[in-house]
Structure 1
Amino acid sequence: MKWIFSILLLLSFSSQATPLVIRLADDSSITLSYDQISQEIPANSFTTKLPWYKEPKSYKGMRVTDLMSYLDKETSSISAVSFIALNDYAATSNINDILKYEPIIAYMIDEKKMKVRNKGPYWLVFNVDKYPEIGNDVFYTQMVWQIDEVIIHSNP
């Protein structure tokens, strides 16, 4: 009986263990669960080759712009978005690049839910096959993995 309880506890923890905190310019925050993100925000998928893998991988997630729409935030009022990793690594993408290159906050890789050990639970990914001009260190350093927090910066 104890092992059944342990398994149920582990399963409930793993389903709750991937929240994403969104911090807004007014200092408020919203916490989204994996289920909210994967079920309520439109998904986008693409396959691209990134320097961290030998072969192209398929990524599925929400466009950053779809997240803004979900939050009722007009992109015209946003200057940039910062992505913070579990280890506190952070990078900021300006809104013009987000609009032009349509990065996603991926939560699946090759049709599997991303785990922390595989750059999850969330990873900002740009499609460098579609936009080869961004296949460089400037954009690679923006591709934060193990994201647990997103900060939306408003125009001054």
Structure 2
Amino acid sequence: MRFRELILGLAAVLLAVLPHPAQASKLPAETVVLTVDGAIDGDAPRDFTIADLEALGLVELRTTTPWHDNEMLFEGVPMARLMEAVGARGDTVVGAALNNYLIDIPIADFETFGVLLAFKANGEYMGVRDKGPLFVIYPFDRFPDIRNELYYSRSIWQLRRLTVK
């Protein structure tokens, strides 16, 4: 019986100290959430915190996705603006997620569709459990033709790195 009590006690402590998913991305201001490297100005990797991304200017995007039950309001920075900020000199980015998922995304998509690098969903910063802290979002409702596996696969969540090629 003591083992069970110990386990329950540890679980209670963990629940008390672990952040709620809605608070999970209230990271310390200096926490790097994204690295952009490859063919960019200066040829040295650029690290971004949430505050750095917010400083690029926030936009909102309302859309449904295959991963959510209802329409979502995403907030973040346009991917085209991020590419401009780093001086991207390529045609493609390779997105890498926290779980090492990799996907090639044509940079042309960013302007064509207004792709968003989201870090808020319905007004809350996204934690890892919520597909955050960064999630590449396409406006699926605005462009019904992109509601397919190709574009769904480009909507990488838990994004950690972008390599410009």
Q: Structures share a fold, TM > 0.5?
A: yes
How far apart, in 1, do the equivalents of 2:109 and 2:46 lie?
Answer: 24
What stretches of structure 1 of length at least 5 have no aligned partner? 1-6
Moved over 3 A (4+): none
TM-score (norm. length: structure 1): 0.82
Q: Secondary structure at the match of 1:97?
A: helix
**Match for 1:117 among 129, 139, 145?**
129
Q: Give, in whole Å, the separation in 1 of the partners of 2:69 and 2:121.
A: 14
d(CA) in 2 for partners of 1:17 and 1:43? 19
Could you give the per-residue CA deviations for residues 91-116 of structure 1, whole angstroms, max 9, x where no partner exists?
Answer: 11112222211111100000100101
Q: How many pairs were matched up?
A: 139
Could you tell me which residue of structure 2 aligns to residue 135 of structure 1?
147
- Of 96-105 and 125-134, the range deviating more from structure 2: 96-105
Q: Which residue of 2 aligns with 1:150?
A: 162
Task: Give 1:4's aligned residue.
Answer: none
Is the radius of gyration larger for structure 1 or structure 2? 2
1:78 match: secondary structure: coil
Structure 1 distance, partners of 2:140, 2:68, is 13
Structure 2 residues not aligned, in runs of 5+: 1-16, 18-23
Give the match for residue 19 of structure 1: 33
Q: Secondary structure at the match of 1:82?
A: strand
Q: What TM-score, normalized to structure 2?
A: 0.78
Percent identity of the aligned residues? 22
Shift in Å at residue 18 of structure 1?
4.6
Amino acid in the other structure paired with 2:62: T
